[in-house]
Amino acid sequence: QKEVEQNSGPLSVPEGAIASLNCTYSDRGSQSFFWYRQYSGKSPELIMFIYSNGDKEDGRFTAQLNKASQYVSLLIRDSQPSDSATYLCAVNAGYSSASKIIFGSGTRLSIRP
Amino acid sequence: NAGVMQNPRHLVRRRGQEARLRCSPMKGHSHVYWYRQLPEEGLKFMVYLQKENIIDESGMPKERFSAEFPKEGPSILRIQQVVRGDSAAYFCASSRTGDGNTGELFFGEGSRLTVL
């Protein structure tokens, strides 16, 4: 079982709609969860992080965490063509505070005008 | 405030040669991560270092690969006797706290290695 799993996509969403990206993780000791965005040929950049169960909103982005189900999601409201990118889910691995951060393989999102 | 600096951005090597990739973390950051990314794939963890210490190298192949982060100077990822399968983008990221629970990773632009 992969440590962090994502649907590779591509996920195609019409402009203005809500894009929903999902991620599951295997390590119950994980405490921190991140969503990174990566444009083609570029480096990843952090867009959201979440530590507690529930929802966390930042502008058009909402991260959702359910530790019991080991599930993290990212919702993008009012999707724009500039949101077209690969979205990488990342979790810290293990109980130790000095722990590595593991990435999923990413979901390609395409926003169609 | 300069971000994470990686060089070279592009490196071409023939099979059997050595590749050295360098990473200077952001100012004030003392924790460095190296990741490898193949085309259309995610980031694969290789190694996590603090100054003069390797914290976790569980993602790095035991042979031909090594990493260091000396007290002075950049972190270096070294690949000896490169093979075609080593062709990939190698990303370095730095973190201020090194605490995997709270630390945001800041990525460099990557070093793209091509092995002929």
Check pLDDT > 80 for residue B102: no
Higher pLDDT, A30 or B97: A30
Task: Determine the pLDDT at residue B40.
Answer: 76
Q: B105 vs A101: CB contact, 8 Å cut-off?
A: yes
Q: Kindly report, residue by residue over B31-54, the tens digit of the pLDDT.
A: 899 999 988 788 999 999 998 899
Chain A residues closer than 8 Å to B56 by CB: 99-100
Please give the average per-residue pLDDT across A74-79, as a whole number.
97
Q: Which two tokens stand for residue B42?
A: 């995610």
Please report which confidence band the pLDDT of residue A30 belongs to, taking 50, 70 and 90 as the band edges.
confident
Closest CA to B38 of B86, B108, B83, B77: B86
Pairing of strands A85-92, A101-103: antiparallel
Q: A96 vs B100: CB contact, 8 Å cut-off?
A: yes
A23 touches chain B (CB under 8 A): no
Please give the sequence-ordered ranges of beta strands (E in DSSP) within B8-101, or none if there are none: 10-13, 19-24, 31-37, 43-50, 53-56, 65-68, 75-79, 88-95
Pairing of strands B19-24, A45-50: unpaired
Q: Kindly report, residue by residue over B1-28, the tens digit of the pLDDT.
A: 579 999 999 999 999 999 999 999 998 8
Chain B residues closer than 8 Å to A36 by CB: 105
Q: Is B84 helix (H, G, I), strand (E, B) or coil?
A: helix
Q: Kindly report, residue by residue over A100-113, the tens digit of the pLDDT.
A: 888 999 999 999 98
CB B40 within 8 A of CB A106: no
Q: How far A43 CA lies from chain B's nearest CA (Å)? A: 5
Check pLDDT > 60 for residue A97: no
Mutate to test the interface with A, among B34, B101, B111, B112 (most CBs of A within 10 A): B101
Higher pLDDT, B69 or A30: B69
Chain A residues closer than 8 Å to B41 by CB: 105-106
Higher pLDDT, A27 or A77: A77
Task: Determine the pLDDT at residue A98.
Answer: 54
Task: Determine the pLDDT at residue B30.
Answer: 86
Q: In what order do the strands lie in the sheet with B5-7?
A: B5-7, B19-24, B75-79, B65-68
Q: How far B24 CA lies from chain A's nearest CA (Å)? A: 15
Please give the average per-residue pLDDT across A13-37, as a whole number.
93
Task: Determine the pLDDT at residue A35.
Answer: 95
